[in-house]
Amino acid sequence: MKMTTTRVYRTSNVYLPPVILVMFAVLTVGIPVMIFALLAADTAPSTPGYAIVVLAFTAVILGGACLSHHRLEFKDDAVRLIWFPAFRKTIPADSIISCAVKRANPWRNGLGLRLIGNSTLAIMNQGGDGVFFETVGNRRYLIVIRNPSELTETIRRLGTMIDKSEPNK
């Protein structure tokens, strides 16, 4: 029995900028230190459960932000959007109707997984050029890709998916 394997093309992971990572790392360490200092000075709320909840919340949120990254994965019949640690979405190739290069501005829209208007879901851990594509359900996606050659390859692959899905071409 012959098994066929589909080759997967992956873009590089895009992480948060180093300045943001340092800021989150300082907060991840600083907030627990501050809470322990308040507990030691006896100025914190008398319930230690409150401090534990704040510590756990801080560790999960800021730790997850420090680890977050995104990428695209292409198979023959689908594109997979991945924003680690919380989001994965597979989009069938036959539902993609257009693609283009678009610039993402984190000062305007923020960083991470965002809804940025016009039914557009943006995945941008950094600003810069990204791929913008639309699906049949009038859904739009903007994913920042930092490497220019990967951006070109991504546009090429999306273009072939659009060509395959349109009959009479």
Q: Which CATH code of 1.10.3470, 2.60.40, 2.30.29, 1.10.10 fits the domain covering 69-165?
A: 2.30.29
Residue indicated by tokens 């198979």: 75
Q: Are strands 128-135 and 96-104 parallel, antiparallel or unpaired?
A: antiparallel
Is the CB of residue 116 less than 8 Å from the CB of residue 130? no
Instruction: Look at strands 112-115 and 120-124 and give their pairing.
Output: antiparallel
**Summary mean pLDDT of the chain:** 86
Q: CA-CA distance, 97 to 102, in Å (whole number)?
A: 16
pLDDT tens digits along 71-104:
999 998 899 999 998 899 999 999 999 999 999 9
Q: How confident is the model at residue 56 (pLDDT cuts 50, 70, 90)?
A: confident
In whole angstroms, give the CA distance from residue 99 to residue 104: 15
Weakest-pLDDT range from 27-36, 108-117, 126-135 = 27-36
Number of Cβ within a 10 Å radius of residue 28: 16
User: The tokens of 160 are what?
Assistant: 């072939």
With cut-offs at 50, 70 and 90, classify the pLDDT of residue 6.
low
User: Would you list the domain boundaries of the chain?
Assistant: 17-67, 69-165
Angstrom distance (rounded) from CA 128 to CA 109: 12
Q: What percent of the chain has pLDDT over 90?
A: 49
pLDDT band at 48 (very low <50, low <70, confident <90, very high): low
Which pLDDT belongs to residue 60? Answer: 82
In 10 A of CB 142, how many CB atoms? 20
pLDDT at 95: 94
Q: What is the pTM of this model?
A: 0.80
Task: Please state which of the ranges 50-59, 117-126, 145-154 shows the lowest mean pLDDT.
Answer: 50-59
Mean per-residue pLDDT, 32-55: 72
What confidence score (pLDDT) does residue 70 get?
95
Mean pLDDT throughout 38-56?
71
Query: Taking the CB of residue 65, how many other CB atoms lie within 10 A of it?
Result: 20
Segment 108-121, tens digit of pLDDT: 888 889 999 888 99
For helices 18-40 and 48-67, give the axis angle rounded to 10 degrees: 170
Using a pLDDT cut of 70, give the percent of the chain over it. 88
Contact assessment for residue 145 and residue 130, using Cβ atoms and an 8 Å cutoff: yes
Whole-number Å distance between alpha carbons of 133 and 77: 16
